[in-house]
Chains A and B, each alone.
Chain A
Amino acid sequence: MYLRSLNNIVFLIFFIPIYINAQIDVRLQADIGKNNLSLHAFSNAAVMTSFYFTKNTFSIGSQLTISDNPLPAFYINYTRNIEIYKQKFDLKAFYTFDMFSEKLYEINRGLLAGYILPHFTFKIGTNFRTYRIFTNSDSTINENFNFMYLVTYYINSPASNWNVGITLTNFDFFLINQETNPMFNIETFYTITPHLKVLFEAWYISSGALNLSVNPFGFYFRTACVCNINY
């Protein structure tokens, strides 16, 4: 049911850019990894679409867990690029929905500000998390003003057709960890043509580091390709 609704939305949205001369990026990605939640590996697949129109970006993404009982997550966000004294910033408002079980789900909404330099990307923001049950229940659990952060260092400048980046962050596309649970990743990408880029990322998550009793939690590898369409 969720997939059909999402497919309808994506189908409709693709026609809008024709009328406003937007650029579109479509990102397909697949994750495979292992963590403490299961004795076996896990995998996810996601599709994400971004529409760029002047200084505005509208994005929507959907992810499915690859299992006997696939569970969806999706996000929707709006980003505005701004320039202050020739410095590039962006401001994003986001909403994520994660159906992590048949009975429970999590929603997040928040704001994220980014500062982009040739070799560094910095992001800080905050999110408001709610855990809920699908049945008609008023009981929710809320966590407010969770701090979000990201610091990435790229070895090459943006003009290069390949790059390697190292990131410390507490969020990913469909996951926002608590401020005290950072994740690390190494990403590489290669621009094959101006319209096609391929990426590979390796993520590592530990638990308990800020409790001074660290333990590995998990890791995953991600492959992705980004296709750019100009109307």
Chain B
Amino acid sequence: MKHSFLPQDLLYQQALAAHESELVRVAAGYERDPAKRPDLLQDIHLAIWRSMAVFKEQCSLRTWVYRVAHNVGATHVQRNMRPAERNHTDLDALALHIDESTDVACSDRQLDFARVMQFIHSLGPLDREVMLLYLEGIDAATSSDITGLSVRNIATKIHRIKHLLGTMFNSEGNHHE
């Protein structure tokens, strides 16, 4: 039996066709445990489908999809963290403790990826969203539309994030030499 699509369904389909891979990465950015990511991804899909009922091109489809996905991701983190985890690390206080027992068989690229992932998961919701948008190659103006932060604030945050990442990779590089 052929399913008849409503306009909301068609918009959801369009959003998924264009951004499915990004959504998988958003879920990875907000859920540490790979086994739980499919559930978060399903929640993100559900939210995007629901939101399409009121999408009237207030912004581009991409901006809308990113807004919904990050809003669901941040809520997921906020609802699932234990009380002790409520104090996120902010950029000022960020001190990285990369696990030194990392599997030696991992390739450098896998190690780099694990470090980036660990860095992302240590950030608070707002810094995390800015970081994920930066990694997706979203420009500052669009990031500002998605987050509600000013372009200047986005640029400052990205600058600090890049600086911290640079420090992290340099110190890890020295550590392994």
A and B: partners? no
Binding site for A on B (CB under 8 A): none
